[in-house]
Structure 1
Amino acid sequence: MAQNKILTVSAQVALGIRCLLVPNSTSPTHGDTLFDVAFEGVYSLCDIEVAKEVEQINNEQIKNNMREMKRKLKGKSSPLAIEIYNYLDKVEVDNLGWWDPFASQVISDDSDLVLNLPRNVYHNFMEPLRRMKIKAPFSIKEIRYAFVEGFDKDKPEILQPKWHHNCTWRETNEELAVITTGILESLNIIWRNPAFEAQYAKTQSEGTYVTDVIIPLFHMALKKLPIKNNAFISTKASADRKGGGKQGKRPDIMFIEEHRVCPEQKKDNDNVKLWREMNDGLYWVYSGCRPDKNEFSIIGIQIVGDTLHFNNIIKDMEDIHRLYHLFSVKIPIRPTGREEVFQFIEALLNLRNITITNMSLLYHSSEARSQRLRKRSSTISSDN
């Protein structure tokens, strides 16, 4: 299908070249010679691209992943495991590609498999997500009301006991209020910045957008996390993940993909890139330690223009990776309504709460099994 599509496009390009070079002519000319060279060049490029695409889609690895999923689920008695196991019998591997989470043993909550589950089974699948998403306290609404209506142009942290995702805020309402106030102070600065007024929005550079909007907001949302110095969000991949051959000390637990101007195709490509990085990140975490399954997650954040998409990926009790879409919220870069601000604040507070819990789970996790028993990441390779 991909090859036919490329050849169709190339034929259209070639026809356009012929029309430009030899308009209203049917006899062999110098233009025809140029056309033949150009057409042959287009087809040669197409052949190269098709060859690369075929290399990227490793059907054998996908089949191995399907067999591995069946092995994990064989004999399991839970309704969800039975549904997935039966679904695997119907899967046509030829219809899967490296861009499909299921081909890499990742079950996404927006997949046909999950959306067509029986109601009680779907409820069970989504249960970890429900435990992570929490309604913000009423006191946060009060702060939001005061801020929106009133707008007019350290102490060492100690790691708390091991936490789990159980619909509980890890900080008091007073502490959440301090974080909320900090985020609103950042919004106050952004709202007063003439560079982000509507008439200049489309000309705003990506560098300024990241520096003046994204970084301050995330800094306020994630500052002073109650964790020790030996457990933190790393910005450098582990030595093992980079191919250095030695186990790194700190795995990546959060990935961010950002573009100020993002066409639909770019958005889709970045989404694929992000979940693949998250899936690999989960593998590397469990290569070095063993945080609780069905609890610990890798967070992925995709920033598309003025919209934030929060996702995370977990390993369930059957060692199946689940991809969840937590929130999609607008970044209120200009004065806006109270509800938009509240949704944005709630999403950032949830991000903070999930991060704190994940760091606790990571810090209190046991060491991984021996290197000999470790498995490879399930993410299908896209290398040319």
Structure 2
Amino acid sequence: MKENNHPASGQAFLDHIKPCWYWDKKDLAHTPSQSEGLDPATEARYRREGARFIFDVGTRLGLHYDTLATGIIYFHRFYMFHSFKQFPRYVTGACCLFLAGKVEETPKKCKDIIKTARSLLNDVQFAQFGDDPKDFRHQQEEVMVLERILLQTIKFDLQVEHPYMFLLRYAKQLKGDKTKVQKLVQMAWTFVNDSLCTMLSLQWEPEIIAVAVMYLAGRLCKFDIQEWTSKQSSRRWWEQFVQDVPVELLEDICHQILDLYSQGKTPIPPGLEQETKQRGPPHSPVPAPPPVPEPPQDQPPGGAPPPPPPKKNSPQGSPPRQLKRTHSSLKEEPKPPEQVGCKIPRLESPMPPLPTSQPPPGECLLGRSSSKSTRKKISKPTLSDCSEIASVVSNRYH
């Protein structure tokens, strides 16, 4: 991983440029796990199982969706520098959730996380924490020791942004029919949840992922988002939110998400089955998101219940952001990845209230700097007609 430090001084080890957490696809095939002989399909399965484990434990403990997502991002970043053969995924998942709870100001006791993990894992899986399942002191020590390694691995870069906040912010600026916008947001929110099972967070910024899931949801729902924008111009609708993002890049992200549903019998997101005239599993509904408010100059209806106090201040609006970043490189050269073909669980989290129309002052729109580089154009086949995509995805399960 590339990292530049300032010239040597008394505190030079504290002064460093923020690390870059984005890799090219070829680098994602050169992970430490694959260097130690783990095949790509197994590594992909371990990543999904770890993400699912963090989500399930956090949900049982009533943690905020931001905390769950932060823990999953820590998990993915950790295994770009360490092997699954050296660090068991469930212990690492518990450690990532423990640290994320403190970072996101929703802390949980380590023993509570371990007890919840015990209720979710079988004896073989829980044996990763130690030979004696009743020795909680030893299990807590395992997590505490690993926390130090985790902090060093992620360079103490603890603040993580997620596509959720950008999805809500961008949707709020759309001026289309409220019902359609709400349907778009609900499906896009589900795609964000599912993307946590992939390595997209190691490839692209959350702003780009948010635009991509809106693009995918709009195509599948057959909504023309271009007509919902306030500025009538020749620019494509997402260019008011991010710049220098070609449609080929959005389609590549969409294909990576759609691959989740084609590789196993993962439930199709609600709303997608309506487009394909198919019926989804009754046990996997996505909670309905709150009504989309009026554009920023309007206030929410007076009769609506007040939203709970946000964990963080809502960000201010700003001009479109030009997203460019350098890629980190890994030195290992193992075999290229193979197609993953195992079942992928779907992550579901309740949607929070949309931001208020008047955000509190003083909050910076984007608190993270971007590294500069030339973005590569991904040669990925374009999305076909919406009905064809939906039918292809649906036919995987029927």
When the two structures are superposed, what TM-score results if normalisation uses the length of structure 2?
0.22
The answer to which structure, 1 or 2, has the higher relative contact order (CA under 8 A, 6+ apart) is: 2
Structure with bigger strand share is: 1
Structure with bigger helix share is: 1
Larger Rg: 1
When the two structures are superposed, what TM-score results if normalisation uses the length of structure 1?
0.23
